[in-house]
Structures are given as C-alpha cells and as structure tokens.
Amino acid sequence: MSKTDRRNLPVNADRIAEDIDALAKITEPDHPWTRRAFSPLFLEGRAYIEARMKAAGLETRIDAGGNLIGRRAGLKPGLGTILVGSHSDTVPDGGRFDGIAGTISALEVARALKDQNIELDHDLEIVDFLAEEVSIFGVSCIGSRGMTGQLPEAWLSRTSGDRNLAQGIAEVGGDPSILLQQKRPDLAGFLELHIEQGPILEAEHKDVGIVTAIAGITRIEITVEGRADHAGTTPMGRRADALVAAAQLVLDIRNAATELAKTPGHFAATVGEFRIEPNAANVVPSKVVLLIDGRAEIRSDMESFIAWVDEAVQKVATAYGVTIKPPVRVSDNFPTPGNAGLLETLERACDRVGAQHRRMASGAGHDTAWIAKVAPAAMIFVPCKDGRSHSADEWAENDDIAMGAAVLFEAVREMDKTLQTKA
C-alpha cells in the first residue's frame, strides 16, 4: 500500500507504531480494543500517553474539562497556541486507530520538532480530548466541549451507576467547579488527524483526505398511528396498518437520500431506530415510532430533506389510511466547515511531503467540530482498510499514519509563520 516513498518523512514512523501498539495492549482482554472513557483502562492508557509526552519534553497537565495536554512553550509568549490532537477513548469493542492515530501523530509532531531542534514562535499543545465517543454518561465530545465553554450545564448531573458526569470528570483530573467558564481565547489554530472510517481514500489510492466540512447531524422522529385489529379476522382492505405505512416511509427516505447524495456535498439518511406497537404476531400494528439520522455537508440539502419529509409523511398517511403527526426534529446541528486558510495550508503540506490528497467531507462527528466554533480548525483523514471502523477489524497502515503525521508537522510549521497573532 506504499504509494509514496516514506523514508524521507520528517517524522519517525517506528515511534508512531510503537505507541499505537502499546496502547492497543491496554484493553479489556476479551474485548479488543476497549478502553472506554472514565474506566481504569482509560486512565492507564492516559498514563502511558502522559509519560510519552514528558519523554518528548512536553509539560503536561489535565485541564478543567479533563483533557490531557502536553505543552511546548514558543519563542514569542502571547502569540497564541497551536493545538493538535484527537482522543484515546474507544467505543466498546472498538478499533486500535480511531482517535489514537490522531493523538499519537500529534505527539509525534512535537517529538519531530524536538529532534530537529525546531523552535516555534507559538506555544504548541498536544491534546488527548476526554470522551469523544458516546460515553457511559450517554454523551460525547465532553473534553472538546468542556475546553471551550460549550458543555451544557445539565450534562454534569447525568449519571452512570453511582456517579455523575461532574464526578467522572473530577476522577480523571478535571475540575467541574470551573468547567462551565472555560474559554480558550489563546487558540490560534487547531488540527486533528483521524482515520477516515470510510472507504474512499483506500479506493482512490490517496494518502490524505482534507476535510472540507464535518457534516451536520439532524435527527427526526416520526410517529405513525394506525389501528390495532385482529390479524386473523380483519379483511386486508379494512386495515390501518402502521407498520406497512412506516415501511413505505423507510423506502421513500432511502430513495430521497440516494437522490440528494448524487448532488454535490455529502448527504446520507438512515432509519436506524424503529419501535413497533404492540409488536405481537396476531395484532395489526397500531403504532410505529421511527428515528431518521440525517447527515449533510451542505445545510441547504438538509433543509430540502426536512421539507421533503414533511410532505412525504402526509402522502403516506393518505395512501395508507394512518395518522402521522408532523415530524419532530429531535436534534439539529449545522455542518462545520474546515477553516479555508487551514485547508490550503494542509494541501501545501501534503505537496511538500509528497502525499496524494483530495478534499472530502466527514460524515462522522469529531472534536474538531467543537474547537472550530472558537478557533480556526481543520482536520485530515488517513486511509483505513475496507472503510471499517468502530469494530475490532478496524485497521490503518502505519505508513499511512506516518504520512499523515508528516502532513501535520509541515502544516504546524507553516501555521507558526502565518497564523494571526492572538492577543
């Protein structure tokens, strides 16, 4: 899979492999690779990363949001901070690379700068964000939201077992008492490397994806109400079968999303949650609640889709003799575009290290989306095998991760020269 000569990269590929392998060993033994946020294994993984940060000459701390940060002071105090990183927590039975590749690549940038005696004007911070994945508290991106004052206060009292999120954050070394006031006005720029979690880069033999936008996520709940009747005695023509109507809707949604996906900009919609009542073999279904997960790179695509759903449910209701209430938007987040200047910086960095690249959207959410609300931010993808992720089969070639780390290294050096001063 070697598409470009990796021998002359400004980063050390072996050191990246060593760290990723070491973290892979810190897992629930029967569930590779599981290192969920707030667990003892997560803290063990963090201790490893912190030791490696210290060995790289970084000054480490845990911020109020529970993020592990390694800092390297710049030559010009007050110029602002360049932040680079990702997350080291996993989903249950997750992968070796999701998040981890980005945290270790960021660390490798700091090490490569040290090896080459390169001093930056800006302060550089390497971050391992707390709980990017949906955690035991049922919420995600806790660290990146917490760092930037975007964590909803109500979340702190969410419970899991006998503790709440505030206690969980304190246990990893954060400070919930000052968490809600956190701001990072010093952030001059942020970069994240992540595995693609999709098949495009591998299929197109590209080394790096420059992420144009992180898709917005909109969840729409639809309740279809029919009438419960005897499944044996009610004639076929005299039923109000909620499930048959809902099934038609699922097909219509798939078709509408397929059409939208053909237009420019990533678009996907999925019905992944589906509840049937009474869910009994001998009763005509009386009620179905389904949840649509929609992802759009371009907001106007999502708006057309939402308008289409409103009309589609009325047509289905009429055709199948059921009642469908107006669809409810359970959540609705806008797409987050990558910073235009940083996208160009990343492209130049790819060209400098010889990485084949293309622009692409992210269908998945990432910490970058939260940092982007307060500072210029952008991310890159590296290929992963068969597009598999959130699975024990997730795999990324170390050469590809090293190539991505080299792109980060070059981009950070350019950012240090070009980013605007943060007072």
Residue type at position 176 = P
Q: Which residues is 324 bridged to in the sheet?
A: 224
Which residue has its beta carbon closest to Zn ion?
Answer: 99
**CB closer to Zn ion, 98 vs 297:** 98
CB neighbourhood size of 96 (10 A)? 20
Residue in 192, 185, 190, 191 with CA at minimum distance from that of residue 79: 185
**CB closer to Zn ion, 88 vs 223:** 88
**CB closer to Zn ion, 72 vs 87:** 87
**CB closer to Zn ion, 99 vs 294:** 99
Residue in 156, 46, 58 with CA at minimum distance from that of residue 108: 58
CB of 98 to Zn ion, least distance (A): 4
CB of 129 to Zn ion, least distance (A): 9
CB of 100 to Zn ion, least distance (A): 9
CA atoms within 13 A on the CB side of 6: 18
Per-residue DSSP letter, 283? B
CB of 386 to Zn ion, least distance (A): 17
CB of 127 to Zn ion, least distance (A): 13
**CB closer to Zn ion, 80 vs 99:** 99
Give dist(CA 30, CA 24) in Å, integer.
13
CB of 199 to Zn ion, least distance (A): 17
Query: Which parts of 70-180 fold into alpha helices (H)?
Result: 100-115, 142-147, 165-171, 176-179
CB of 197 to Zn ion, least distance (A): 7
CB of 381 to Zn ion, least distance (A): 11
Give dist(CA 338, CA 336) in Å, integer.
7
Tokens of 125: 């911070």
**CB closer to Zn ion, 129 vs 267:** 129
Q: Identify whether the C-beta of residue 187 lies closer than 8 Å to the C-beta of residue 418.
A: no
Give dist(CA 291, CA 269) in Å, integer.
10
Tokens of 9: 């990269």
Residue in 123, 126, 132, 82 with CA at minimum distance from that of residue 104: 126
**CB closer to Zn ion, 381 vs 409:** 381
**CB closer to Zn ion, 129 vs 137:** 129
Q: Helix crossing, 13-24 with 100-115: angle to 10°?
A: 140
Give dist(CA 85, CA 69) in Å, integer.
9
Site residues for Zn ion per CB under 5 A: 98-99
Give dist(CA 230, CA 179) in Å, integer.
56
Give dist(CA 178, CA 157) in Å, integer.
15
CB of 132 to Zn ion, least distance (A): 5
**CB closer to Zn ion, 339 vs 389:** 389
The DSSP code sequence of 32-43 is SS---TTSHHHH
Q: Identify whether the C-beta of residue 333 lies closer than 8 Å to the C-beta of residue 216.
A: yes
**CB closer to Zn ion, 99 vs 338:** 99
Give dist(CA 320, CA 250) in Å, integer.
14
- Strands, DSSP E only, in 226-320? 267-277, 287-296
CB neighbourhood size of 21 (10 A)? 11
Tokens of 386: 């068969």
CB of 195 to Zn ion, least distance (A): 8
CB of 94 to Zn ion, least distance (A): 9
**CB closer to Zn ion, 126 vs 244:** 126
